[in-house]
Amino acid sequence: MSKILLVEDDETLCDLIGEYLKDAGFDVCVCSDAQSAADLAYEQKFDLFIFDVKIPKGDGFSLLKELRKSGDRTPAIFATSLNTLDDLEVGFKSGCDDYLKKPYELKELLLRVNSLIKRNFSHNFDDFVTIDDEFKFYFASKELRRSGVPVALSNKERELLALFLQNKNRLLSKDEIFSAIYAFDETPSEEALRTYIKNLRRVLGEEHIINRRNAGYLYV
């Protein structure tokens, strides 16, 4: 389960974002000031930071800049009401990976969170993951091998399997899957998704991919 550090001094908004991300399957640690956030970041390993900028005992820009100086390369999103081009420039120079302007839709935040975690996961994950005694999946090439022999899968099936392996035991909604495996200029298809799932089950076994009716898919 991916772990997120959320820093937001608006208690109501913090609770709302925290619960939304927890419902999406993330482990979320929350705090409301820069000093507490720095302490947590040094003490624990996180997969993503979400920082407001205008927070007590410092500010989000300075907080991230100090973490970057210490060698922390955890992906970071600024979610803030500071929305000028100058603010944006300062944010990216501080070391952020994304910048979200308030107000924003929680779904948009989730899409950005998934994108950053997926990108960082693929950079840091071992070259391959062992699925069982027969199968290994190689992330760099997105290649599934059975006893060392490549298994024929379509590009979308490879992308989907990589997504499942990166989110094992986490329920993925159809929208999350579509945003991960389809480009902006492609039209997602539920029928095609069902075909990809069917083919992966045929290769790996029915038990690995569970369909949660009206909710999404779970890889176990």
Confidence of residue 122 (pLDDT cuts 50, 70, 90): low
Side chain identity at 203, as an amino acid letter?
V
Q: Is the peptide bond before 103 cis (omega within 30 degrees of 0)?
A: yes
pLDDT confidence of residue 97: 92
* Paired residues of 218 in beta bridges: 210
Give the percent of the chain with pLDDT over 90: 70
**In the predicted model, what is the mean pLDDT of residues 187-195?**
94
In the numeric block, the tokens 């979308």 are attached to 156
Report DSSP state, residue 167. Answer: T
Dump pLDDT digits (tens) for 61-105. 999 999 998 888 899 999 999 989 999 999 999 999 999 999 999
Using pLDDT thresholds of 50, 70 and 90, give the confidence band for residue 183: confident
- For residue 100, which of 58, 56, 57, 49 has the smallest C-alpha distance? 49
Task: List the alpha helices (DSSP H) in the chain.
Answer: 11-23, 34-43, 60-69, 85-94, 106-124, 155-166, 174-181, 190-204
Asked whether residue 181 carries a pLDDT value surpassing 60, the answer given is yes
Alpha-carbon distance of 36 to 29, in angstroms, equals 11
Q: What is the pLDDT of residue 166?
A: 83
Cα gap 193→181, rounded to integer Å: 10
- Averaged pLDDT, 36-59: 94
Residues 44/67, Cβ–Cβ less than 8 Å:
no
What is the structure's pLDDT at 121? Answer: 61
SS (H, E, C) 46-78: CCEEEECCCCCCCCHHHHHHHHHHCCCCCCEEE
Query: For domain 3-122, which CATH number applies: 3.30.200.20, 1.10.260.40, 3.40.50.2300, 3.30.70.20?
Result: 3.40.50.2300
Average pLDDT of every residue of the chain: 91
Residues 6+ apart with CB under 8 A from 186: none
pLDDT at 124: 52
Q: Tell me: pLDDT of 21 over 70.
A: yes
Domain boundaries, the chain: 3-122, 126-219
Q: How far is CA 169 from CA 29, 32, 119, in A?
A: 20, 30, 19
- Range 26-37 average pLDDT: 95
CATH of 126-219, one of 1.20.1270.10, 1.10.260.40, 1.10.10.10, 3.30.10.20: 1.10.10.10
* Model confidence pLDDT, tens digit, residues 124-143: 555 788 899 899 998 878 89
Q: Which pLDDT score is estimated for 87? A: 93
The pTM is what? 0.59
Provide the pLDDT confidence category of residue 179 given band limits of 50, 70 and 90. confident
The pLDDT value recorded for residue 57 is 96
Residue 184 has pLDDT above 80, yes or no: no
